[in-house]
Amino acid sequence: MTTIDPSIGTDRARAIFDEELAGVASAAALQELRNRWMARSGSWVAAFMDLIARATPDQKKALGRGANELKKHVEVALADREAALSATRRPAGAVDVTLPGRAPRLGCRHPLSLVREEVGAIFSRLGYQVLEGPEIEDDYHNFEALNMPAEHPARDMQDTLYLANPLTPASYAPPTRGLAPRAPQPLTLLRTHTSAMQIRQMERHDPPVRLVAIGPVYRRDNLDLTHTPMFHQVEGLVVGRGITLADLKGTLTSMAAALFGPATRGDESARSGQAPLVRFRPSFFPYTEPSAEVDIRCIRCGGEGCPMCKRTGWLEILGSGMVHPAVFEYVGYDPDEVTGFAFGMGIERVALLKWGVEDIRLFYENDLRFLEQFGR
């Protein structure tokens, strides 16, 4: 940058200005140039004015004309350049349509939702009603009417989460039949299983009944590899004339085949003469008689024994049985007229087995690296 020196004359100064202006590329640089040339003091123009003030009357005329022309030239050139710069500036908020697009990230279904929907779809195809039902329950539906009286160990504070302030239900209609109290009971607990939905449905509807109820349940468990205080269950109930244990076995065998694939197909094994790939083990539940737990042949080792099946060759997937006559009495069904079967299965357990996941907590940690592995 040339030092300000008016003794070089206005023509030379003008050439210097033109040169400096040519190098200006931004509004800030233009402003700097303006200050350098036009400011009241310390600028080129100010320096020429000083020179004129100090000149002899003869010199003043010529100097004055030259200085005025320089000033006018600088003003016009600065204004032109300013207009040119603002014409090329992008207006605020402008969209650059030439930029490559940003693809929206696609989410994926949660593995528990996938199992939930799959189970719902299997049973809808079989003509079952798919229900949800309340998560805050009363003692009557969660325990008593399922043949678990007041002193039953399953009602222990160790296992059940009770409400500090029971709610008085406003929205639950009182049952229409059965031994259930006519007035709605205060809601005292978080349901410990979806079996409560068996009672809710039967006390409002005549047989036949064919339902699955899917949703969250709660237990006083600490978090570990296989336990969470909230998890999901699917409950099944079929009631009608002439329902037998054979119906229970057929239904649960085909459900296992649909959920876990051909490895567990009872029909295939029957055809090939192999040992059955689903087995029913005698068990006990207060609301079924007889009761059975259902195992599938280990999907990792095929039955040979591995750490996943604890070397037994079998994986337990659910509890089931023929509905206990006492339950029918609670809901006002005649146990001499109808029979039924019921089952309850953990959704998390199915997901753990189906995909070989080793820690149930992964389902709740919202780690996308885990969640993105299960397909859309």
- Least distance (Å) between residue 356 CB and ligand DAH: 23
Q: Interacting stretch for ligand DAH, rule CB under 6 A, among 23-31, 113-121, 295-303, 317-325? A: 317-325
Three-state secondary structure string covering 333-361 = CCCCCCEEEEEEEEHHHHHHHHHCCCCHH
**CA 23 → CA 1, 3, 26, 35, distances in Å?**
11, 17, 10, 16
Question: How many residues of this chain bind ligand DAH (CB under 6 A)?
Answer: 11
Select 294 or 299, whichever has its Cβ closest to ligand DAH. Answer: 294
Nearest to 49, CA basis, from 68, 28, 25: 68
Which of 218, 330, 343, 363 touches ligand DAH by CB under 6 A? 343
Peptide bond into 290 cis (omega under 30): yes
Mark 225-244 with x for binding to ligand DAH (rule: CB under 6 A) and - for no binding: ----------x---------
Q: Quick check: 285 binds ligand DAH (CB under 6 A)?
A: yes
Which of 142, 185, 195, 253 touches ligand DAH by CB under 6 A? 195
Hey, is 142 helix, strand or coil? helix
Select 81 or 210, whichever has its Cβ closest to ligand DAH. Answer: 210
Do residues 268 and 297 lie in contact, with contact meaning Cβ atoms separated by under 8 Å? no
Q: Quick check: 321 binds ligand DAH (CB under 6 A)?
A: yes
The tokens of 9 are what? 């004359």
Cα separation, 38 vs 357, in Å, equals: 76
Cα dihedral sign, 19-23-29-31:
positive
- Least distance (Å) between residue 191 CB and ligand DAH: 10
Q: Quick check: 288 binds ligand DAH (CB under 6 A)?
A: yes
- Least distance (Å) between residue 247 CB and ligand DAH: 13
Q: Quick check: 342 binds ligand DAH (CB under 6 A)?
A: yes
- Least distance (Å) between residue 293 CB and ligand DAH: 8
Q: Quick check: 142 binds ligand DAH (CB under 6 A)?
A: no
Burial environment of residue 22 by CB neighbours within 10 A (0 to 12, 13 to 18, 19 or more) = exposed
Which of 215, 319, 331, 339 touches ligand DAH by CB under 6 A? 319
Cα separation, 89 vs 82, in Å, equals: 11
Give the binding site for ligand DAH (CB under 6 A): 193, 195, 235, 285, 288, 319-321, 342-344
